[in-house]
Structure 1
Amino acid sequence: MAAAPSLDDPSTPPTAVAQLAAAEIARRTGVEQHDVALTLGSGWGRAAERLGEIVARIPAEEVPGFSASGIPGHSGTLTSVRLPNGSHALVVGARTHFYEGKGVRRVVHSVRAAAAAGAKVMVLTNGAGGIDPSWTPGTPVLISDHINLTAASPLEGATFIDVTDLYAKRLRDLAREVDPSLDEGVYVQFRGPQFETPAEVRMARAIGGTIVGMSTAIEAVAAREAGVEVFGISLITNLAAGISDSPLNHEEVLEAGRNAEDRLADLLSRIVHRIADDLAAR
């Protein structure tokens, strides 16, 4: 019997494993197509409960290409949700971070699997540090663009794609119909897992960044390659290093998320419902 396709085999196209994952998700959920997909970062975990009717929860490690999340604040499950308009959302609570050392293919597998499952929009959320001192912990900020400082790309071979409008303005405009007060900024992905130094934060600010974190940018590029629109939103969990005198720690990130989770879950659910209604009308 031939071995199953593996992301660790460089001769296996990563899309082949994504198709296997999508087929397993459809089998386990009974849902043929998920129209919207969400990756829930730190502070956003309760959003799945507010989106609609939970159809199924699947341990991530039981789906080809996925593994259990080893990061506090992540659920480690894939959840299928029926939205109020009858469409379906796939919620990924098992993000693989680049700093885990599992390779770029595993970092973006959830995005490719979501695209294979039919998603037309990928919602990427994260907990992040704010460079703008007016953003207090608990502030949600839309991502308008990114700077990738990991020196890694999910694209393989001579694959050239345009990322000029990677974070769709159309989707940001829909989000502002829900909450006109939402600010936006440029997300800078560092490799991690150490927090950024004050000098690195000054560099990020000098090159145009306003948000710093350890995820999202690589995933967004993979989504664009797959033909999926990207909506990004960060929870500012702390001021970035050097912006305030407070030391940084992961517990602070989790605490900021816990303090804001009800408000964030409500906000994100309303945004996703607005996006889903727009997709249905197109």
Structure 2
Amino acid sequence: MERIKVEESVEYLVNLIDIEPEIALILGSGLGELAEEIKESTVISYSEIPNFPVSTVKGHAGQLVSGELKGKRVIAMQGRFHYYEGYDIEKVTFPVRVMKFLGADKLIITNSAGGVNRNYNVGDLMIINDHINFMGTNPLIGPNEEEFGPRFLDMSEPYSSNLITAAENAAKEIGINVRKGVYLATTGPNYETPAEVRCMARLGADAVGMSTVPEVIVANHMNCDVLGISCITNMAAGILSESLDHKEVIETTNRVKDDFIDLITKILELI
């Protein structure tokens, strides 16, 4: 059934976009401005695409943008979907399957995250080298469609070592200091308690957020190489004394968006 829905979405999109994308981008909270850098772009609202959900979170534009960026054919999600919005996990990850069927075999996924590692600072960019799934669900639960990928998926390298190296080299070339660490995903929408954050730190998490892991699982299922980058928009509960607010997420991403855009565009040049 999901294969049929994917094919319906792909059939609709191939009649509108002029390129076969090689790289897919998922742009998280406050980070969607990168899509405005795409040249000769085609912009399609999620609401127009058959079977697509609609983004409901402030800071997510809710549109698919395709075109050329730094010599690469790209398709970008300007805003993503979250499990906490009430969508089932298959719906959250549905666009990854569509972008793969359109031709993209690499996925660059970004998010806003809370810093769990006390050595991190607000505004840091973190290359994700592994993750912990604390969402209590998995997008591969249920019947497996062999056209998508194997029943039992190896996750020994969920984030491509080659793309991580390219990201590190890109950061050096443009003079940006980046972190590298483990991202832990929860369902949200509430922020974590201080006790939960202490637990996450003991488990080896460096950052925590409410997205990314389901999409990364599905991308791996479909044999896509994945690069993940988090913007540390706040320190997680209990590390600093102030309370947490989504406004801080948007304010921080706005402050560091130039570095973020420079990093992603340089990565595109190198891969």
**Secondary structure, aligned partner of 2:16:** helix
1:1-282 equivalent positions in 2, closer than 5 A: 12=1, 14-31=2-19, 33-50=20-37, 52-85=38-71, 87-155=72-140, 156-157=142-143, 159-180=151-172, 181-275=177-271
Cα distance per residue 1:230-261 (max 9 Å; x no partner): 11000000001111111101111111111111
**Secondary structure, aligned partner of 2:24:** strand
CA distance in 1, matches of 2:131, 2:181: 9
CA distance in 2, matches of 1:168, 1:129: 23
Provide the TM-score with structure 2 as the length reference. 0.92
1:163 partner letter: M
Percentage identity across paired residues of the two chains: 34
**Secondary structure, aligned partner of 1:64:** coil
What runs of 5+ residues in structure 1 fail to find an aligned partner?
A: 1-11, 276-282
Does the 8 Å contact 2:30/2:60 carry over to 1? no
1:229 partner letter: D
Moved over 4 A (4+): none
Quote the offset at 1:22 in angstroms: 2.1
Quote the offset at 1:84 in angstroms: 3.4
Q: Superposition RMSD on alpha carbons, in Å? A: 1.3
In structure 1, the residue matched to 2:147 is: none
Quote the offset at 1:178 in angstroms: 0.7
Cα distance per residue 1:100-143 (max 9 Å; x no partner): 11101111011111111111101110000011223222111000
Does the 8 Å contact 2:35/2:78 carry over to 1? no
- The verdict on how the C-alpha distance between 1:54 and 1:263 changes in structure 2, with shifts beyond 3 A counting, is farther
Count residues with an aligned counterpart: 260
